[in-house]
Structure 1
Amino acid sequence: MMWDGVREVACDESGSDGENLTDGNTDVFAHASVLLPAESAAGCVQEIRNRIRSPAEEYKAGHLLREKHRAVLEWVLSPAGPLYGHARVDLTDKAFFVVDRALDLLLGDAAGADALYGTGREAFGADGWRRFLRAANRLLRARSDAEPVDPVDAFFAHVEELRRVEVPEPAAAVLERLAGSRERAEAYRARVTAGPPLIPALNPLLPAILRTAALWSAPRTAVRLVHDRQNMLTPDRVDWLLRTARQRGVALDGVELVHSRLDLRVQLADFLAGVARKLASDELNGCGDPVLTALLRPYVGSSSVWGDAPSWARLGPLPDGRGRGTRAGSGARLPC
């Protein structure tokens, strides 16, 4: 296919814990993208350095998130800042992503993810909901740690535990369907035990990259992603990304892996990803900063995978379509 032009977009992520989505260090995964010429990115990074005045060789989002640099952070995100209109961030609520993927793999669709997630923590209690999320995570992850209980047995034991609780009909119907999906669960475990799949079910990076490519594509304009180096982005997986994007009508021209130190556009994406992950996590946990959240809103992609409607409403306009939850339902809260 011939394109009239190619947009080169720099990308980085924050909050990656591999397939460990329920017991990792973060509850939000963020994938940021920046469309700026290299010269403009260099000027932006230099201005940030001039304002922060840290001797660090490479700046990270943590520098901007320090309270003493609050004014710099507000400037970076503001309409007068260097990223406004040139950057976006795709957010993934990890707990919701686990529920979404479990229903998709075990039931053939994830239409009930909103209902189950929305009921979750309130109906089953924080501990009961957390145990279910952990069991679902263990069932779906490709690498299963040596534990005394089989992941299939553990998951369905938790499903039965939740079914004993009286919940609204949409969630009850989802649990009923899950209870009958043991055969599919055993077949899935047999496949991943025989050999790790090329595309892990629970790693949020690859679907986030596809959404990012779709976000920046335009008629007769392709997208080339310049991405910070990631062990997940092997040549085979990059080929899969290119094929899958084109199957979805997204003109992804290529994925180039670089080190953020060597491409200041990627360093800016790193800034935005780290900042967005922290601010989104704070909103998810009920302790967001209204000023910073308002500044972040224009950057948040509407295709983000988010399950908590109150916090999403503060992060950005509630989008239509699958993958958006209805109310608070995450597992254990993280400290702000």
Structure 2
Amino acid sequence: MTATNDPRVGTQSGPTADSDTAGRWVACDESGWDGEQLIGRRGPYFVYAAVAIDDAEATGIVEELRAETRYQAPELKFRDFKKRSIRRDALRRLWGDGGALEGRCWAFVFEKEYAAVAKVIDLLLEEQAYAAGFDLYVDDRARTLAQLLRQHGRRALGDQGYESLMTAFVAFASVRGRGDERAREAFFTHVEEAWASSTRRNVTDVLMMLRTTRSQAEMFHGDTDTHPMLELLVSSVAQAARHWGAQLGPVSVLTDEQKALPDDGLDNIAKVVRHGWGATPSSRQRPVDLRALVRGTSVDHPSIQLADLVAGAVRVSYEHKAGTEISEAGEDLWPTIRPLVDKSSANPSLGGIG
């Protein structure tokens, strides 16, 4: 299923074009990115969007949008579409039935607090289970544990106790906290305090399990690998490649420039995607025929501008639906963005895609 040569990585300055060599191009952008600081920053959601289109075709679509909406700025940005109903109408037509991008838009939504909890479950409880000969991914057991703690933790621990625990999770698992004994001890101190004060049995049970993972935590902090475990961009690129590779076959992925995606980072992602990934047989993902994984700017690539529109619309719609930021844009766009969102998105508070 994979190509014979290693995928090309780096910066793509020239326009992208579908071909036998490159396969189909997929353009990506994000909304709500905070790096590894998943708690208390730029809103509750991170969205990664990918549109199956190359620059050659995207150029015409962008020009049509400009003419239809009287858009004057150098680049299409969702923030300029959010406030005007005529521009939101144009987006609904673009993605909807018969639109130029019908069936070609995809987005993955992370609720950031859930992502932090899920990563700690993965780093500690999954490793503990694996060492004992169990597969925590069977029947979505790992996801269920993370959902329990995220959905019921605040009621079980109170606002202050829950937020302190979430902050300790991030400090423990982030690159900055890696190998820091104080961060590790603070993490277990907060787990102990949360376990002792929990008023809900299901939350108490998860915390009890985490209390027993000190050896896994020490192993994690002793690992010399400084891969940013909480960086959602990394896993999102892999998810986008996996989705479109399954749909289209050979693909090349163009993602918006971010400091979290240097050449060596892109290379690592590309190798994992091409060879498949997953800690256990039940979580194993199939390899993707990835021909290129490159970065670029929205100034140079109209295809990235189209991905920006999708990412922004999905985030605003989810914020509206969750009640964290009510907006006319979220109300208008929600029906048309729902079909674009991956059903496996890490978003328990809205029950998958709501």
> Could you state the TM-score of these two structures normalised by the residue count of structure 1?
0.82
The residue type equivalent to 1:120 in the other structure is G
Secondary structure of 1:132's aligned partner: helix
Instruction: Tell me the residue number matched to 1:175.
Output: 207
The residue type equivalent to 1:224 in the other structure is S
Instruction: Tell me the residue number matched to 2:252.
Output: 224
Q: 2 CA distance for matches of 1:84 and 1:183?
A: 50
Secondary structure of 2:259's aligned partner: coil
- Offset of 1:24 from its aligned partner? 1.9
- Offset of 1:166 from its aligned partner? 4.4
Instruction: Tell me the residue number matched to 2:271.
Output: 243
Q: 2 CA distance for matches of 1:252 and 1:284?
A: 35
The residue type equivalent to 1:75 in the other structure is R
Secondary structure of 1:260's aligned partner: coil
The residue type equivalent to 1:299 in the other structure is L
The answer to whether the 8 A contact 2:29-2:48 is kept is: yes
Q: 1 CA distance for matches of 2:331 and 2:313?
A: 14
Secondary structure of 1:162's aligned partner: helix
Are 2:209 and 1:209 aligned? no
Q: 2 CA distance for matches of 1:243 and 1:313?
A: 30
CA RMSD of aligned residues (A): 2.6
The answer to whether the 8 A contact 1:65-1:73 is kept is: no
Are 2:271 and 1:253 aligned? no
The answer to whether the 8 A contact 2:241-2:290 is kept is: yes
Rate the CA distance shift 1:16–1:220 in 2: closer, same or farther, 3 A. Answer: closer
The answer to whether the 8 A contact 2:26-2:54 is kept is: no
Secondary structure of 2:47's aligned partner: strand
- Offset of 1:290 from its aligned partner? 4.3
Secondary structure of 1:79's aligned partner: coil
Rate the CA distance shift 1:126–1:73 in 2: closer, same or farther, 3 A. Answer: farther
Instruction: Tell me the residue number matched to 1:200.
Output: 228
Counting matched residue pairs gives 307
> Could you state the TM-score of these two structures normalised by the residue count of structure 2?
0.78
The residue type equivalent to 1:204 in the other structure is L
The answer to whether the 8 A contact 2:25-2:253 is kept is: yes
Secondary structure of 1:218's aligned partner: helix
The residue type equivalent to 2:120 in the other structure is A
Secondary structure of 2:292's aligned partner: strand
Secondary structure of 1:262's aligned partner: coil
The answer to whether the 8 A contact 1:119-1:167 is kept is: no
- Offset of 1:303 from its aligned partner? 2.7
Q: 2 CA distance for matches of 1:183 and 1:157?
A: 15
1:16-43 Cα offsets, whole Å, 9 max, x none, are: 1111010321321111111124343112
2:342 maps to which of 294, 301, 324: 301
The answer to whether the 8 A contact 2:27-2:307 is kept is: yes
- Offset of 1:73 from its aligned partner? 3.7
The residue type equivalent to 2:171 in the other structure is R
Instruction: Tell me the residue number matched to 1:31.
Output: 48
Unaligned runs of 5+ in 1: 315-336
1:72 maps to which of 90, 97, 104: 90
1:48 maps to which of 65, 68, 73: 65
The answer to whether the 8 A contact 2:88-2:333 is kept is: no
Instruction: Tell me the residue number matched to 1:319.
Output: none
Rate the CA distance shift 1:220–1:144 in 2: closer, same or farther, 3 A. Answer: closer
2:173 maps to which of 132, 140, 143: 140
1:153-180 Cα offsets, whole Å, 9 max, x none, are: 3222221222123444443221001112
- Offset of 1:102 from its aligned partner? 0.6
- Offset of 1:51 from its aligned partner? 3.1
The answer to whether the 8 A contact 1:64-1:72 is kept is: no
1:189-236 Cα offsets, whole Å, 9 max, x none, are: 344xxx661x21100111111111111113892211012222222222
Within-5 A mapping of 1:254-269: 254-269=292-307
- Offset of 1:65 from its aligned partner? 0.8
The answer to whether the 8 A contact 2:95-2:105 is kept is: no
The answer to whether the 8 A contact 1:206-1:241 is kept is: yes
Are 2:24 and 1:7 aligned? yes
Are 2:182 and 1:150 aligned? yes
The residue type equivalent to 2:260 in the other structure is M
Percent identity (aligned): 29
Q: 2 CA distance for matches of 1:218 and 1:160?
A: 44
Secondary structure of 1:217's aligned partner: helix
Instruction: Tell me the residue number matched to 1:63.
Output: 80
The residue type equivalent to 2:311 in the other structure is A
The answer to whether the 8 A contact 2:45-2:111 is kept is: yes
The answer to whether the 8 A contact 2:157-2:198 is kept is: no
Q: 2 CA distance for matches of 1:189 and 1:89?
A: 32
Instruction: Tell me the residue number matched to 2:310.
Output: 272
Secondary structure of 2:254's aligned partner: strand
